[in-house]
């Protein structure tokens, strides 16, 4: 077997707590499919037959019991549960399944929605015998207004500095703004070996990594590394150029120590042949200096940067909304589910998705929106640019614009909701209640709300819990 | 059952051919009768009868047509054994057996020849226009041992029937078919032309189950040029085969000797799709297949596998590593102090020789000649300078300016063909030609495992077309040939190999010694005797 796929679905969705406090992140509906369906579909399309899914007990229960969340994937899913409160990072999770890992791994995050050609990433991994190969994409601006966000988005978010060589494939430098004190510091040894480096900042890390088996074994020994993206990848990128390049690296040492005696002999004889091949081959990855291919380094990191195509990580609200817009392009299902009851006198735009068992009544207008499963929309409702999740009831005469209505919410008659986020199981009272822009209604458990128009504040009646 | 193919060179030759061949046929029949009589007289002697048998095949061959598309049966007296592939060489060693069969075989041959002539005229009548139908004459010269030599599929790309056959074969083996790219120059339209941007792996599933992962990796490395050079490719291939053999388990009710060979066939097709196999790789594959089929059936699996692995190691050690040492030893005798040696491109063997000569404190300097688009000479230059050898670097366009300074030319070879021609990187024959003009000795260094039974007199029939986009060059941000596909009258041709005639080569240095170019078939015959 060449590669094993590992899907990390234990994350909490800490950057979009409004959505994830009730539904775990892997099961958030995007285009009426659970978020976890997208990476699983990607892996299935590419040809994987088995995936190890690392997730929490809650998600596992929901996947197995809830028919709505039924994943119509044909692959064999090996669900591994970890404790929710254990606060495990992605590298910790990999360490947890070290026994199951028999070959090189392809680690994917559950919130990745992409149509990238995976063979580009894996080809780099194969052809150059790389230790790490990852996928990145040019970041796209999110154009949709995010409900509940006050003012413009802060641009000073932590940037990533990614340095690649002239071909754009070899990863030379990776640092996050948070780790840098004053400026970007690049070691001389890197500049000596690769005098031309392109540093890019506008890239999105797709969190898709091809790792050698020796890296997983290395993680088992070094328990201090807890996050792949935050710690392991920068460590590997730095290690490419460390002084001990000529002597066997830490990773190779653990690799050899784990093998038995005769296997070491086999690997050494094969190493000789590989060395002979490289010696006789006239290929070099760089030119201009006197060193051999790869500068004699044994550890190599590669990156494939996508120019075009969809690549989103759904870990913020803005990304979630953007993903919902683009999700229909990724699969060929009809926009209106056959089991939805749609009356004839309603206007449904071409880029809207209507889920199964919906009831859309007369004189409604649905544009650029996603309506979830089992939602009821009564007459004279206007829904524009919104995401309506499962089980929502929208009474007559409502006007919903640019909002996210989470599952099982009830929107009362005549409500006018603009750019808001209504949490699950909440109710917006009827009779000309207006929810002003940029407000967030996050309720837990069926509180009733009477909204008065008051900019930047929300008043609640009879609520049990208030958040934000 | 024979399959006979008729080669038709160019359209204008067609109407004459039928007549020529029928005349030939008559001549041949007359000669056959004469030889029959002679053979009856010298039946008991082995040696002369062998030479007679040598001559009879020659007489049966059509006279060499001076047209490019003709392949194998171009008659050259001495290496006549070469066009007959290896199995046919067996008859030479068992002379008594075939001679009683001569008479009926010859009359069969006569009938066949007549039938063929009729077929030929029919075909000539049917297809007036097509210039390259790519079918070939296989004369029933193998009266002694009927052997079929089909044209390999990779030189018949313009024949849709062959392409369909290949597609079916690949489908059966579950290997994706790589599609050709771009406009092909008409003279080379019978060869494949692939693009590096469309690797074969995009059609494969990612955890490759059909093809062993090390073979997929190897194929990728071939198509991207990471493993390039005849020796490097063979070593990498054998290394990958070692992994395959190590991971192999015999399925129940199957024999290792037969099943493993069948397992290797799709891998070889896959590698062929990634990049056409080199002659050295072909010989290595032949060797492995022979070793596998020679494993006795009562041998246990573990034992058999270790035996195969040691065979592979031994092959590499003998044929590549030790051969390089032997060749260096001979070649160093030819390098004297004060020499100016010219090398072309990158040849691992020539580099090895020069480095060893430098270590043995010979005083010489090197001129490295390089050519686009591969610019392999840069790597050769780097390795030589790293050792401390003083080098000069020129492009091939400066060849005639620099040759007056040169005292010797050392060339590497991709393969040595059975008629003494040297197949090497494109540009080699040019260097040999100009060097001959300046009376500079040309020495070709080649290991014996690269000797190939093929016969070629030109570089058109069988060659390799590399990615035409490699010819595009970007200077100051502008790529002039960027939209070459839109220009209908423009074709980019990126040839990889060319063929140097033996007249331009003074000496071939092999691990068996220093031989003239024309002795290559002798070496081949000796090799076959050993096997």
Decide if A3 touches B, using CB distance below 8 A.
yes
Q: What is the C-alpha separation between B51 and A271, in angstroms, rounded?
A: 50
Decide if B295 touches A, using CB distance below 8 A.
no
- Tell me if residue A261 falls in helix, strand or coil: helix
Model ipTM over 0.90:
no
Lowest mean pLDDT among B359-363, B434-438, B516-520: B516-520
Residues comprising chain B, all counted: 531
pLDDT of residue A86: 67
Query: In 10 A of CB A28, how many CB atoms?
Result: 25
A428 beta partners: A411
Please write the tens of the pLDDT for every residue from B265-287: 999 999 999 999 999 999 999 99
Mean pLDDT of chain B: 81
Q: Nearest CA to CA, how far is A270 from chain B (Å)?
A: 7
Neighbour-count burial of B458, counting CB atoms closer than 10 A to its CB (0-12 exposed, 13-18 middle, 19+ buried): middle
Chain A residues in contact with B322 by the CB 8 A cut-off are none
Tokens of A184: 């970007």
Decide if B173 touches A, using CB distance below 8 A.
no
Q: Do B227 and A277 touch (CB under 8 A)?
A: yes
- Is B377 within 8 Å of B345 (Cβ atoms)? yes
Chain B residues in contact with A106 by the CB 8 A cut-off are 206
Only one residue has tokens 């969190």, namely: A207
Q: Using CB atoms and an 8 Å cut-off, which of residues 89-108 of chain A contact chain B?
A: 106
Only one residue has tokens 């340095």, namely: A163
B97: Cα separation from own chain's centroid: 32
Decide if B382 touches A, using CB distance below 8 A.
yes
pLDDT of residue B101: 43
Q: Using CB atoms and an 8 Å cut-off, which of residues 126-145 of chain A contact chain B?
A: 126-129
Decide if B316 touches A, using CB distance below 8 A.
yes
Q: Do A276 and B316 touch (CB under 8 A)?
A: yes
- Is A410 within 8 Å of A448 (Cβ atoms)? no
A288: nearest CA partner in chain B: B382
Q: What is the C-alpha separation between B351 and B345, in angstroms, rounded?
A: 10
Lowest mean pLDDT among A142-156, A390-404, B89-103: B89-103
Q: What is the C-alpha separation between A385 and A325, in angstroms, rounded?
A: 9
- Is A377 within 8 Å of A398 (Cβ atoms)? no
What Rg, from alpha-carbon coordinates, does chain B have? 25
Q: Using CB atoms and an 8 Å cut-off, which of residues 46-85 of chain A contact chain B?
A: 46-49
Mean pLDDT of chain A: 78
DSSP annotation of A58: H
pLDDT of residue B27: 78
A6: Cα separation from own chain's centroid: 14
B215: nearest CA partner in chain A: A126
Q: Nearest CA to CA, how far is A51 from chain B (Å)?
A: 12
Decide if B310 touches A, using CB distance below 8 A.
no
State the average pLDDT over residues A341-349: 80
Decide if B348 touches A, using CB distance below 8 A.
yes
A388 beta partners: A371, A405
Decide if A455 touches B, using CB distance below 8 A.
no
Neighbour-count burial of B390, counting CB atoms closer than 10 A to its CB (0-12 exposed, 13-18 middle, 19+ buried): exposed
B384: nearest CA partner in chain A: A290
pLDDT of residue B139: 44
Q: Which of A54-58, A328-332, A398-402, B377-381 has the highest mean pLDDT?
A: B377-381
Decide if A307 touches B, using CB distance below 8 A.
no
Closest CA to B325 of B305, B289, B349: B349
Kindly state the helix (H) or strand (E) to which residue A55 belongs, with its residue range: strand A50-56
What Rg, from alpha-carbon coordinates, does chain A have? 25
DSSP letter for each residue of B331-373: HHHH--TTEEEEEES--HHHHHHHHHHHHTT--EEEEEEE-TT
DSSP letter for each residue of A198-253: EEE-SEEEEEEEEE-HHHHHHHHH-TT---IIIIIHHHHHHHTTSGGGSSPPHHHH
Q: Which of A138-152, A377-391, B36-50, B146-160 has the highest mean pLDDT?
A: A377-391
pTM of whole model > 0.90? Answer: no
- Is A46 within 8 Å of A21 (Cβ atoms)? no
Does the pLDDT value for residue B118 go beyond 90?
no
B386: nearest CA partner in chain A: A290
Q: What is the C-alpha separation between A168 and A306, in angstroms, rounded?
A: 11
Beginning with the edge strand found earlier in the chain, give each strand of the sheet holding A427-428 in spatial order: A341-342, A359-360, A376-377, A393-394, A410-411, A427-428
Q: How many helices (H) and strands (E) does chain A have?
A: 11, 32
Q: Do B321 and A127 touch (CB under 8 A)?
A: no
- Is A354 within 8 Å of A360 (Cβ atoms)? yes
Q: Going by C-beta distance under 8 Å and a sequence separation of 6 or more, which residues neighbour residue B145?
A: B87, B88, B90, B91, B98
Kindly give the interhelix angle for B377-387 and B348-359, rounded to the nearest 10 degrees. Answer: 20
Chain A residues in contact with B320 by the CB 8 A cut-off are 276
Please write the tens of the pLDDT for every residue from B120-143: 777 777 655 444 444 444 444 444
């Amino acid at each position: 077997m060449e590669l094993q796929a590992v899907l990390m679905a234990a994350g909490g969705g800490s950057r979009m707590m409004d959505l994830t406090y009730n539904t775990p992140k892997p099961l958030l509906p995007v285009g009426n499919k659970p978020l976890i369906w997208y990476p699983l579909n990607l892996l299935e399309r590419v040809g994987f037959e088995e995936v190890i899914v690392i997730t929490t007990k809650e998600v596992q229960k929901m996947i197995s019991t809830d028919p709505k969340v039924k994943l119509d994937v044909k692959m064999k899913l090996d669900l591994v549960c970890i404790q929710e409160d254990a606060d495990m990072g992605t590298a910790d999770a990999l360490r947890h399944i070290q026994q199951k890992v028999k070959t090189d791994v392809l680690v994917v995050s559950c919130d990745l929605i992409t149509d990238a050609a995976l063979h580009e990433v894996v080809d780099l991994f194969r052809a150059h015998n790389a230790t790490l190969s990852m996928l990145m994409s040019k970041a796209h601006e999110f154009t949709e207004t995010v409900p509940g966000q006050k003012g413009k988005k802060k641009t000073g978010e932590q940037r990533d500095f990614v340095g690649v060589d002239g071909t754009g494939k070899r990863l030379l430098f990776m640092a996050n703004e948070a780790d840098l004190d004053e400026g970007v510091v690049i070691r001389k040894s890197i500049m000596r070996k690769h005098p031309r480096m392109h540093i890019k900042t506008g890239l999105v890390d797709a969190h898709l990594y091809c790792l050698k088996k020796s890296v997983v074994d290395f993680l088992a020994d070094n328990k201090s590394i807890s996050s792949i993206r935050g710690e392991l990848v920068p460590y590997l990128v730095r290690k490419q150029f460390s002084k001990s390049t000529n002597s066997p690296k830490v990773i190779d040492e653990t690799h050899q120590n784990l093998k038995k005696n005769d296997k070491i002999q086999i690997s050494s004889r094969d190493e000789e042949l590989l060395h002979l091949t490289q010696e006789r081959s006239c290929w070099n990855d760089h030119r201009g200096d006197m060193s051999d291919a790869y500068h004699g380094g044994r550890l190599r990191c590669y990156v494939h940067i996508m120019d075009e195509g969809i690549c989103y990580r759904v870990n913020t609200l803005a990304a979630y909304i953007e993903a919902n817009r683009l999700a229909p392009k990724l699969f060929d299902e009809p926009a209106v589910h056959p089991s939805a009851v749609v009356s004839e006198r309603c206007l449904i735009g071409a880029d809207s998705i209507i889920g199964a068992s919906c009831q859309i009544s007369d004189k409604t207008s649905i544009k650029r929106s996603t309506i979830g499963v089992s939602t009821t929309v009564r007459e004279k409702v206007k829904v524009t640019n919104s995401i309506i999740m499962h089980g929502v009831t929208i009474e007559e005469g409502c006007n919903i614009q640019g909002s996210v209505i989470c599952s099982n919410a009830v929107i009362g008659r005549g409500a006018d909701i603009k750019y808001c986020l209504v949490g699950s199981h909440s109710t917006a009272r009827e009779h000309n209640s207006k929810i002003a822009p940029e407000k967030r209604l996050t309720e837990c458990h069926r509180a009733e709300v009477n909204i008065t128009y008051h900019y930047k504040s929300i008043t609640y009646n009879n609520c049990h819990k208030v958040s934000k | 059952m024979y399959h006979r193919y008729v080669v038709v060179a160019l359209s204008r030759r067609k109407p004459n051919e039928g007549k020529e061949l029928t005349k030939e046929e008559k001549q041949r029949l007359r000669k056959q009768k004469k030889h029959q009589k002679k053979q009856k007289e010298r039946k008991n002697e082995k040696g002369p009868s062998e030479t007679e048998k040598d001559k009879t095949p020659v007489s049966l061959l059509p006279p060499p047509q001076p047209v490019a598309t003709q392949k194998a049966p171009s008659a050259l007296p001495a290496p006549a054994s070469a066009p007959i592939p290896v199995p046919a060489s067996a008859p030479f060693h068992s002379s008594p057996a075939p001679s009683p069969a001569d008479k009926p075989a010859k009359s069969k041959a006569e009938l066949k020849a007549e039938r063929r002539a009729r077929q030929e005229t029919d075909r000539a009548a049917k297809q007036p226009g097509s210039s390259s139908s790519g079918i070939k004459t296989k004369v029933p010269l193998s009266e002694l041992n009927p052997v079929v030599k089909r044209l390999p599929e990779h030189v018949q790309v313009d024949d849709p029937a062959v392409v369909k056959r290949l597609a079916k074969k690949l489908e059966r083996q579950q290997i994706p078919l790589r599609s050709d790219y771009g406009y092909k120059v008409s003279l080379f339209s019978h060869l494949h032309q692939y693009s590096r941007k469309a690797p074969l792996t995009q059609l494969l599933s990612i955890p490759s189950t059909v093809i062993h992962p090390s073979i997929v990796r190897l194929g990728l490395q071939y198509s991207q040029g990471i493993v390039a050079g005849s020796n490097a490719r063979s070593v990498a291939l054998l290394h990958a085969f070692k992994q395959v053999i190590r991971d192999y388990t015999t399925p129940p009710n199957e024999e290792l000797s037969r099943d493993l060979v069948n397992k290797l066939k799709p891998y070889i097709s896959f590698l062929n799709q990634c990049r056409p196999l080199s002659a050295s790789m072909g010989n290595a594959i032949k060797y492995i297949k022979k070793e596998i089929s020679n494993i006795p059936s009562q041998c246990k699996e573990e034992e058999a596998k270790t035996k195969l692995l040691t065979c592979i190691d031994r092959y590499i050690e003998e044929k590549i590593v030790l051969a390089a040492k032997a060749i260096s030893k001979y070649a160093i005798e030819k390098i004297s102090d004060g020499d100016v040696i010219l090398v072309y491109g990158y040849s691992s063997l020539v580099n090895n020789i020069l480095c060893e000569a430098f270590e043995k404190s010979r005083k010489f300097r090197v001129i490295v000649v390089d050519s686009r688009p591969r610019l392999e000479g840069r790597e050769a230059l780097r390795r030589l300078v790293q050792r401390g050898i003083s080098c000069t670097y020129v492009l091939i366009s400066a060849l005639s300016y620099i040759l007056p300074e040169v005292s010797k030319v050392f060339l590497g070879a991709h393969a040595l063909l059975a008629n003494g021609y040297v197949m090497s990187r494109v540009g080699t024959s040019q260097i040999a030609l100009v060097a001959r003009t300046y009376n500079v000795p040309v020495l070709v260094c080649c290991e014996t495992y690269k000797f190939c039974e093929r016969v070629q007199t030109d570089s058109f029939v069988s060659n390799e077309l590399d990615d035409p986009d490699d010819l595009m060059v970007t200077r100051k941000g502008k790529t002039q040939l960027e939209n070459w596909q839109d220009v209908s009258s423009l074709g980019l041709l990126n040839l990889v190999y060319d063929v140097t005639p033996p007249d331009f080569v003074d000496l071939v240095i092999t691990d068996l010694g220093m031989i003239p170019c024309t002795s290559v078939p002798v070496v081949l015959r000796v090799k076959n005797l050993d096997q």
